[in-house]
Amino acid sequence: MTDILDELHWRGLVAQSTDEAALRSALAEGPVTYYAGFDPTAQSLHVGHMVQLLNMRRLQLAGHRPLALVGGATGLIGDPRPTTERSMQSRDVVAGWVDRIRSQIEPFLDFEGPAAARMVNNLDWTGEMSAIDLLRDVGRHFRVGTMLAKDIVARRLRSDEGLSFTEFSYQVLQGMDFRELYQRHGCTLQLGGNDQWGNLLSGVELIRKTEGAAVHAMTSPLITRADGSKMGKSEGGAVWLDPELTSPYAFYQFWLNQADADVVKYLKVFTFRTREEIAELEVQVAERPFAREAQRALAGDLTTLVHGQGATDAVIAASQALFGRGDLAALDARTLGAAVAELPSTTTSAGALVVDAFVGSGLVASKAAARRAIAEGGAYVNNTKVTSDDAALDATDLLHGRFAVLRRGKKTLAVATVD
């Protein structure tokens, strides 16, 4: 087994650990059974969850055994947020989200072989537990003073919103999860983000008090941009792993658009590229930033990991076709629709003049400017040069019966859509 802790440190993925020397020794002796939990508080995971998913995969590749916990019980409550309490969902909704999230976790892990992963659901041991059992068997091991001192709890208590007993009790349930996995599967390591440190320690302490055993917790840092802002959101909100919520095209573009100052760090955190490969891409960023080789590697690796090679190929083909380096008509409707979704747009009808579509979409300021672009040979519809002032958008020009991609010059794009 490789020294996986050194690898995680190099990638900037270790923020806190309970006893790193003891953990290093346990990992070296291995294999270690470990877990990370994912609560179904939404219908999909987002790119922020990928840090733990990839950490789980890295440990598995080093020979250790992962347990992927989907919180069918804790998802009914939700861990405390920094500002306001979560809206509770019905049991049926949460159960549906559990299934969706399980399917998103599965591609990241190997469920066969000596280090085979296992899926677990904390509703299996929490669902039938009575309130009396929880208070007698678990709650008595928690001290309220310690619970109140947890950072997220203290912040919420100072806020106007306050903190309900429901959310306050979340750390008890998470602590119980670790103990249950220790008893059932010999799990001795829990992974999480550093905002979960207090919850992770709840399990460590519960196992120490009730089992007399020393177990481990390790967190990864919050992933930020070079300017200090939180990574993981686009202008439209969260970047989801579900292709119905964030299309593979939008997912690819999110990573492609990362700044030069951030991309090398993200290659370490989010890909399995070697030190040598990342070092070479770092040279490319410094010497040929305009080529965006590092961003392309990042976007390609992650889109393939989450959505498959076919989706990545379709996205790259769409990107090339938009700028005249491919056949727009060869793109499927879903990929084309995602590719043009963020472009300036106008709604039109079959038979409308191209000049009017250019003006309506904002590609040019006036009909005179549109005619001038045509005269200069810089106006295109679906990558075909427009040669006449009175050219119209014929029904045959509409891709999938709906879209016409407008281009002025080499790089200025818009779309005309027929409803």
Amino acid at 142: F
pLDDT(232) > 70: no
What's the pLDDT band for 153 if we cut at 50, 70, 90? Answer: confident
Per-residue model confidence (pLDDT) at position 151: 82
The tokens for 159 are: 């806020």
The tokens for 248 are: 């593979």
Residue 298 host element (H or E): helix 293-307
Contact (Cβ atoms closer than 8 angstroms) between residue 68 and residue 35? yes
> Which residue, 190, 189, 191, 152, is CA-closest to 170?
152
pLDDT digits over 173-201, tens only? Answer: 999 999 999 999 999 999 999 989 999 99
Which DSSP state fits 35?
E
- Alpha carbon distance 417, 312 (integer Å): 25
Contact (Cβ atoms closer than 8 angstroms) between residue 282 and residue 294? yes
- Give the SS3 label for residue 349: coil
- Alpha carbon distance 114, 65 (integer Å): 8
List, as residue ranges, the binding site.
Answer: 35, 170, 174, 233
Per-residue model confidence (pLDDT) at position 290: 94
Which DSSP state fits 323?
T
pLDDT digits over 58-115, tens only? Answer: 999 999 999 999 999 999 988 887 777 788 889 999 999 999 999 999 999 999 999 9
Of how many residues is the chain composed?
419
Per-residue model confidence (pLDDT) at position 83: 76
Report in angstroms the alpha-carbon separations of 158 from 81, 84, 144, 339, 404: 13, 12, 17, 45, 54
- Alpha carbon distance 67, 33 (integer Å): 7
- Alpha carbon distance 13, 272 (integer Å): 13
- What average pLDDT does range 121-133 have in this prediction? 94
List, as residue ranges, the binding site for ATP.
Answer: 233
- Alpha carbon distance 39, 79 (integer Å): 8
pLDDT(144) > 50: yes
Contact (Cβ atoms closer than 8 angstroms) between residue 76 and residue 176? no
> Which residue, 406, 254, 415, is CA-closest to 324?
406
pLDDT digits over 270-329, tens only? Answer: 999 999 999 999 999 999 999 999 999 999 999 999 999 999 999 999 999 998 888 999
> Which residue, 194, 212, 210, is CA-closest to 150?
194
Per-residue model confidence (pLDDT) at position 86: 80
CA dihedral (302, 51, 255, 305) in degrees, to 10, reads 10
Amino acid at 320: Q
What sign does the CA torsion over 180, 196, 155, 162 have?
Answer: negative
Question: DSSP for 173-223?
Answer: HHHHHHHHHHHHH-EEEEEEEGGGHHHHHHHHHHHHHHH----EEEEEPPP
List, as residue ranges, the binding site for L-tyrosine.
Answer: 35, 170, 174
pLDDT digits over 318-356, tens only? Answer: 999 998 888 999 999 999 999 999 899 999 998 999 999
Contact (Cβ atoms closer than 8 angstroms) between residue 199 and residue 192? yes
- Alpha carbon distance 221, 261 (integer Å): 18
Please state whether 143 falls in left (phi above 0), alpha (psi between -120 and 50) or beta: beta
